[in-house]
Structure 1
Amino acid sequence: MTGQSFLPYGRQDISEDDIAAVSAVLRGDFLTTGPMVDAFEAALANRVGAAHAVVCANGTAALHLALAALQLEADGRNCAIVPSITFVATANMARAVGLEVVFADTDPDTALITTDTLAVALERAKQAGLTPRVVLPVHFAGQSPDMDALAALAATEGCVIIDDAAHAIGTISAGGYPVGGSPYAVMTCFSFHPVKTIAMGEGGAVTTQDPALAEALRRLRGHGLTRDPSCFENTEDAFTDGAANPWYYEMPEIGFNYRATDFQCALGLSQMKRLDAFIARRTALIAEYDERLKTLSQHITLLPQQPAQTPAWHLAVALIDFAAAGISRAAVMAILRSHGVGSQVHYIPVHRQPYYARRWPDLTLPGADRYYQRCLSLPLYPTLTAEDMNRVCLALTTALRGQP
């Protein structure tokens, strides 16, 4: 690896315009909530076709806010359906608002929840005496599940949908609408971590078509406080001579400090202007991976593309039959690293995590497990060059041959 830079599996692409946008905020009057927050929210809502966007501290906060805004009773019976192939935050935030989590299996090749796996999870929930209230489909690696079919099935059980679209800013679903402007999801959650398609350092957002939910999201984002006189309950403290006191606020419910800063939103707004270019470059890289992996080894393929949608790829996931190749995933990753190539596993099935395994000790999800056995995320980001791609593929070839 002498003289060569390390190639991580993902990284941000920060331009001079991005730096200038952040610098301008740092030289201005607002560091935390200010005009860039409103500007970023407006740009995001416009991009995805949503009536409202509420920016927040990170993608996990977005999930927490969305689930809290539903105000579902934590009675020990209400539950959320979560696909097992996701980051732990999707399940954890359902637990954070007091919901039980029932895991759905996923397609072994795409890692996406399906109507069949959702149906099984809904039945498992009912057999456990639970009431399904919300389904959280994950738009994995930039691809969407069949949202039309999932929404129809969820509706028959009285469930609403909250999209976990942390991987899918810019994806156009099979229904022809941008993820985040769905006619089916009551809310959609995004992440703007540095490895995502656009970066805010840390950052997240929730989009919705519902003005009441948008108001709840904003209130919960800021400790649950309101300054709206029409909402005040303690009129003796709130008003003087019929006018609202200028200092006054109330907390009708407990919220969180999940606000985003003005300089985060300045970066996000600048990055949003480059979203189409980022997507185009990632799409070209995925196409190149697809062609090259076909000739690299019979034991490796790329995550297959779903029909009738236009994914904004977040991950380049290779599916490798490690047993047939005669080498472990750990050994492949070690050899890649020795050649300066990073890789990652997205994800360990969440139902196998000790916390959840104790709650569902006999649960087996063969599709999620089969996907997990084979997945390996390769470098994917806009600044990856042709030379970098050559290095990745050469290192992968070497690794699958068991060579150092």
Structure 2
Amino acid sequence: MHTFPYTIAEPAMSRLGRSFAYLWSSTALSNLADGVLKMGAPLLAVSMTRSPTLISLVAAATTLPWLLLALHAGAVADRADRRRVMVRANLVRAVILAGVTLLAVLGLLNLWLLLAAVLLAGVSEVFADLSAQSVLPMTVPPDALTKANGRVSSAQMIGNDFVGAPVAGLLVAALPAVVFGAPALLYAAAGLLLLGMRGAYRAEGGVEARRPMRADIAEALRFLWSHRVLRGLAITAGLLNLANSAYFAVFVLWAVGDGSEIGLEPAGYGLMTTAFAAGAVVGSLLSERAAGVFGEFRTLVCCWLVTSLLLLVPVIVPSPWTLYPTAVLWGVVGAGGNVLVISARQRLIPARLLGRVNSAYRLVGMGGMPLGAAAGGVVAEFAGLGAVLVGATGVCLVGVGLVRRALSDQISGPLTSTAALSDMSGSR
């Protein structure tokens, strides 16, 4: 029998449990909504302008809330019932997007309203996602985390890219208003599904509501910085996400349209993300086995290295025939690495700090994404799209080199237990 560090009213009915089933179903719906919105918004923007700077603002608006609100959202996740935070966040973004749908139907939608909608939906996403990563360890046994994260990651990829992205490509051409209306309905359904999770989802030994929030945040930042493994992973993730944001903020201009290098139609761009999702599902499900054979951190570093090198393929050979198989490989190694790093964080971070330290990690890891997206647009205006794509690849390789050096003494074999990982943490 597994002992959970949380209060859960309902024991697991199976290996992953009934509550996990509700969480997984909600994740699938919300990520389907994410896929439609995150693919549809830049494609709508391309129909309004061909300026790389303005197009990059869409990606910047998507990720800016992580820079501004991640720490506060993590503190809220450690103070409140995490399931309730997720329910409210999903319902809020459903209401926001329903309002934007009405404006689109009335013919009032423009680029600036589109940016505002993406930004506000992103604010809700920060609270929903951070609470979701903190809820997951409350629903499954500790030694089932990698398996559960693999299932969640596969649902995310199927929703975001395998289904949502191609649907968005079709909707942009046929009925643009539904790019916002469909996600509104899906987010509402995702929030309601979470009500099926029974039990309390507030961390035992959590922070006092009367304690200043800045003290909660400072505690999390100290823990992250003093933890050698988490610190190294966070810094590298920050460099990778910064570079990838610059890359993909303008990649749509490299790939889509008559004047682009690859020459895809919007539906073809959606098909590329479907190929990515197909690979990601495979990578998510194989990550646990690969880590058991090659070692958790060795597998992670290899995934990040291969992902970085693959960024050069569409630049060197700009053709749909190379783009689609490259996207599949992006998915396999990208999702595999993502599952491993999330599982490691969930094991390494104490229960009472999980929301806050996760938020601190993601601030470092994702906080540079809006800056990278904006920088990608500006550099593309003056130096061209190719300079952005090649430069971003170089930054990724530097990041992989840093984490390889930082973890050189930890990638000699499998790492499967919390105790083994804790031995590498350094002083608290």
TM-score by length of 1: 0.28
Q: Which has the higher helix share?
A: 2
* Higher relative contact order (Cα pairs below 8 Å, separated by 6+ residues): 2
Instruction: Flag the structure with larger Rg.
Output: 1
